[in-house]
Amino acid sequence: MRLGEASCLLAPEVPGERAAASGLGAIQLGPAVTKRSRARTVFAPSRLVRALDRYVRIERGELVARISAGGGYALGGQALVASRAGRTGVSLAGGAVSYGRLDPAARRRLLLVTPEGEVAGPLGLWLSADGLPVAPATWQSVFARANARCERFGIGVSVTPHTLRHSFAVHMLGLLLRQTVAALGEDPARTHTSAQVKRLLVGNPLRRLQLLLGHAQEATVYTYLDVLDEAQEIVASALARWDAQAGALAAAFTGDESLAAEPQA
């Protein structure tokens, strides 16, 4: 996710522990919070789903309970009062509204109220020590403090939220390339030409990465190929193996063993 997308998540949007059992948890990002208003689905691995679930139930739950018990939450001002919060939307004074229609500013104003009229707390996922939603700009300070701690301990790490997004993209592209190579190797028909294989090796993983990152143009994700040092090696190795397999298949049909010779580097 982009920082703007992740920072405005709501607690009800986070997949529960049950979703972790399936291996992936789907988080729906509506057009009101994404760049260029393109809705998409982000899939969180089970380890992350469990960690988020524990945070919501324990750390966040205890914080909200403590603030509520001390009378820290009150209606008024710019608060958006929600009488019910489901998995896909909330019930406001004007009726039901899907989360996809709520922009980041509106999400930070959401307060859940019980049928008895008591304020149950904000719906924002990430809360600060005062029990209120964390502002997007605060995340930059969080990373700056973490980088400063790493420097004090002699750890050569300095990252930003966007660095993490790029790191995910590069590692995911390598994984998608290797998966595509494996899938091509399992093709019993072996009917693709070398040109078709090259298009599949490059185009298919990049298209999937584009969807994962939410980029409007496929050309944008080509930059990650330059960062991925092993990309050229993966593609070249796969093409060489494909040519060798195609030669062996041709030899089997024609009886000409010279066709199955190893390709020269």
Q: What is the pLDDT of residues 10-27, one digit of tens each?
A: 999 998 877 767 767 889
Tokens of 258: 């010279």
- Domain membership of residue 178 as a residue range: 161-260
- Cα separations (Å) of 253 from 214, 246, 256? 46, 11, 8
Mark the ranges of the chain whose per-residue pLDDT is less than 50: 188, 246, 249-250, 252-253, 257-265
36: its two tokens? 């260029």
Does residue 152 belong to any structural domain of this protein? Answer: no
Do 184 and 248 lie in one domain? The reply is: yes
Examine the domain organization and report whether 124 and 169 are in the same domain: no
140 within domain boundaries: no
Q: Tell me the per-residue pLDDT of 112-140, one tens digit each, with 9 for 90 and over.
A: 998 888 889 999 999 999 999 998 889 98
Tokens of 110: 């959401």
DSSP reduced 3-state for 193: coil
Same structural domain, 82 and 128: yes
The set of residues, in sequence order, having a beta carbon less than 8 Å from that of 87 and lying 6+ positions away, is 12, 13
Question: In terms of DSSP bridges, do strands 110-113 and 119-122 run parallel, antiparallel, or are they unpaired?
Answer: antiparallel
Q: Are residues 115 and 189 in the same domain?
A: no
- The pLDDT value recorded for residue 133 is 93
**What is the Cα Rg of the chain in Å?**
25
CA–CA distance, 172 with 224 (Å, rounded to integer): 10
Residues 112 and 13 in one domain: yes
Which residues make Cβ contacts (< 8 Å) with residue 113, sequence separation at least 6? Answer: 75, 81, 82, 83, 119, 120
User: How many independent structural domains does the chain possess?
Assistant: 2
CA–CA gap between residue 258 and residue 238 (Å, rounded): 21
